Structure 1
Amino acid sequence: MIVRISSGIPGLDKLVGGGGGSFAENTVTLVYGPPKVGKSVFSYQFAFEGLRNNEPCLYISTDYGLKDIERNIANFGWNLDEYIENESFYFIDAISTIAGVEVESKPNYFLSSVHNPTDIMVKLGMAMRQIISKSPRFRSVLDSLTTLMAFNDEVLIVRVLTVYIMRIKESGGTAIVTYTEGSASSKVENMLKAIVDNIIHLDGENLTIEAMIGGGKVKGQYDITPKGIVVD
Structure 2
Amino acid sequence: MVIELIVRISSGIPGLDELMGDGGGSFVDNTVTLIYGPPKVGKSIFSYQFAYEGLRNDEPCLYISTDYGLKDMERNIANFGWNLDEYIDNETFYLIDAISTIAGVEVESKPNYFLASVHNPTDIMVKLGMAIRQITSKASRFRSVLDSLTTLMAFNDEVLIVRVFTVYIMRIKESGGTAIVTYTEGSASCKVENMLKAIVDNIIHLDGENLTIEAMIGGGKIKAHYDITREGIIVD
Which residue is 1:182 aligned to?
186
Q: CA deviation at 1:13?
A: 0.5
Which residue is 2:160 aligned to?
156
Of 5, 8, 28 in structure 2, the residue corresponding to residue 4 of structure 1 is 8
Ranges of 4+ aligned residues in structure 1 off by more than 4 Å: none
Q: Secondary structure at the match of 2:15?
A: helix
Which residue is 1:210 aligned to?
214
Q: Which runs of 5+ in 1 are unaligned?
A: none
> Does residue 166 of structure 2 align to residue 165 of structure 1?
no
Identity of aligned residues (%): 88
The correspondence of residues 1-232 of structure 1 with structure 2, limited to 5 A, is 1-232=5-236
The residue identity in structure 2 corresponding to 1:52 is R
In structure 2, how many angstroms separate the alpha carbons of the residues matched to 1:65 and 1:131?
A: 21
Q: Confirm or deny: 8 A CA contact 1:29 1:200 kept in the other structure.
A: yes
Q: Secondary structure at the match of 1:10?
A: coil
Q: CA deviation at 1:16?
A: 0.8
Q: CA deviation at 1:10?
A: 2.5
Aligned residues between the structures? 232
Q: Confirm or deny: 8 A CA contact 2:150 2:184 kept in the other structure.
A: yes
In structure 1, how many angstroms separate the alpha carbons of the residues matched to 2:52 and 2:193?
A: 28
In structure 1, how many angstroms separate the alpha carbons of the residues matched to 2:84 and 2:101?
A: 22
Q: CA deviation at 1:132?
A: 0.2
Q: Secondary structure at the match of 2:54?
A: helix
Q: Secondary structure at the match of 2:179?
A: strand
Out of 13-22 and 41-50, give the one that drifted further: 13-22
Q: Confirm or deny: 8 A CA contact 1:199 1:210 kept in the other structure.
A: yes
The residue identity in structure 2 corresponding to 1:104 is E
In structure 2, how many angstroms separate the alpha carbons of the residues matched to 1:120 and 1:98?
A: 14
Q: CA deviation at 1:129?
A: 0.2
Q: Which runs of 5+ in 2 are unaligned?
A: none
Q: Confirm or deny: 8 A CA contact 2:14 2:233 kept in the other structure.
A: no
Out of 6-15 and 138-147, give the one that drifted further: 6-15
In structure 2, how many angstroms separate the alpha carbons of the residues matched to 1:120 and 1:133?
A: 20
TM-score (norm 2): 0.98
Q: Confirm or deny: 8 A CA contact 1:10 1:19 kept in the other structure.
A: no
| 1:128-166 CA-partner distances (Å, limit 9, x unpaired) | 000000000000000000000000000000000000000
TM-score (norm 1): 0.99
In structure 2, how many angstroms separate the alpha carbons of the residues matched to 1:176 and 1:17?
A: 20
Q: Confirm or deny: 8 A CA contact 2:7 2:28 kept in the other structure.
A: yes
